[in-house]
Amino acid sequence: MSASEVLLRPGPVPLYDSAASRSRALEEARALWVYRGLVHELVVRDIKVRYKRSVLGIAWTMLAPLLNMVALTLVFSTILKQQITNYPVFFMTGAIFWAFFSQTTSTAASQTQDSNEIAKRIYIPRSVFVASAVGVGLVNLALSIVPLLIILVVTHFPIYTTWAFLPVAVFIEALFAAGVGLWLFTFASRFSDVREMYTVIVQTWFFLTPIVYHPAIVPAKFRFALWLNPLYYLVQIFRKPVYDGVLPSAALLGVSVAISVVTFVSGWIYFSNRAERFAFQNG
């Protein structure tokens, strides 16, 4: 009996056929959609577990950037005498963006071990773990808008209509963070030191990105370092609508979208083709 005869017999299309030659990237996307409920559960779990036994609970998410802001404002505006109007707002917009990016990507890198334990025993599309990392990051980002608003009110800073652009900026940034997360997750499935390495990279990256300082203080001969840094563009599309009250220029937006799309699509394809394989060769 040939294989084709066998396959004709049972009627319904098999739910799983290891020999089916579909695109892994498309297959992964379809599976992620089916398992969107799991992404939701993982995000909820993460947030619940983190705050279940803490006194201040969810307030921590909002308090942490505030305390950071106070410390950094002291350092940068008092000690370094940096001339930035309303430094607290300048810093907060950068810090919120940074927290989202670094948390999301670090979580994606560090989840590999746990998630492989689950994914070795039960079928789930592995991309749910990266998606949930992005989800948790977005929830925290939404929460940290509260301390930002507090600062705006306290310092009598105007709330511009350009705030309306923020969802678009966040979407572009989430796409980039997801892309980096996918690359990291895949690497981390194969090599256990990726997580530690990334911790160091993130720290360095923070200082190379104009979060706490204004890009104008970078000497002309080092400007190229800014231009090569994708986060230089991405932090601006988030900061401009809130701090400067203007929409990002078409060029800035174009560069940001291009960077995010390329990172995400390449990450998705690499991840879909490798993450599963790496998990089983690790032993």
Contact residues toward another protein (CB under 8 A) are 3, 6-7, 9-12, 14-19, 34-35, 37-38, 40-42, 45, 48-49, 52-53, 117-124, 187, 190-194, 197, 276, 280-283
Nearest CA among 128, 126, 136, 142 for reference residue 274: 126
Rounded to whole angstroms, the Cα distance separating 13 from 20 reads 11
Least Cβ distance, residue 110 to another protein (angstroms): 15
Q: How far is CA 84 from each of CA 71, 107, 129, 175, rounded to the nearest angstrom?
A: 16, 33, 39, 30
Q: How far is CA 169 from each of CA 123, 175, 260, rounded to the nearest angstrom?
A: 34, 10, 11
Nearest CA among 127, 174, 140, 160 for reference residue 268: 127
Least Cβ distance, residue 188 to another protein (angstroms): 9
Quick one: 41 or 223, whose CB is closer to another protein? 41
Least Cβ distance, residue 193 to another protein (angstroms): 4
Quick one: 20 or 228, whose CB is closer to another protein? 20
Quick one: 18 or 85, whose CB is closer to another protein? 18
Least Cβ distance, residue 254 to another protein (angstroms): 34
Least Cβ distance, residue 24 to another protein (angstroms): 10
DSSP 92-141: HHHHHHHHHHHHHHHHHHHTHHHHHHHHTTS---THHHHHHHHHHHHHHH
Least Cβ distance, residue 141 to another protein (angstroms): 23
Least Cβ distance, residue 186 to another protein (angstroms): 12
Quick one: 190 or 214, whose CB is closer to another protein? 190
Quick one: 52 or 156, whose CB is closer to another protein? 52
Quick one: 33 or 163, whose CB is closer to another protein? 33
Amino acid making up residue 35: Y
Nearest CA among 207, 211, 271, 221 for reference residue 243: 211
The two tokens of residue 128 are 């749910």
Quick one: 19 or 228, whose CB is closer to another protein? 19
Rounded to whole angstroms, the Cα distance separating 138 from 104 reads 9
**Using CA of residue 220, residue 69, residue 255, residue 27, what is the dihedral sign?**
positive
The two tokens of residue 122 are 């039960």
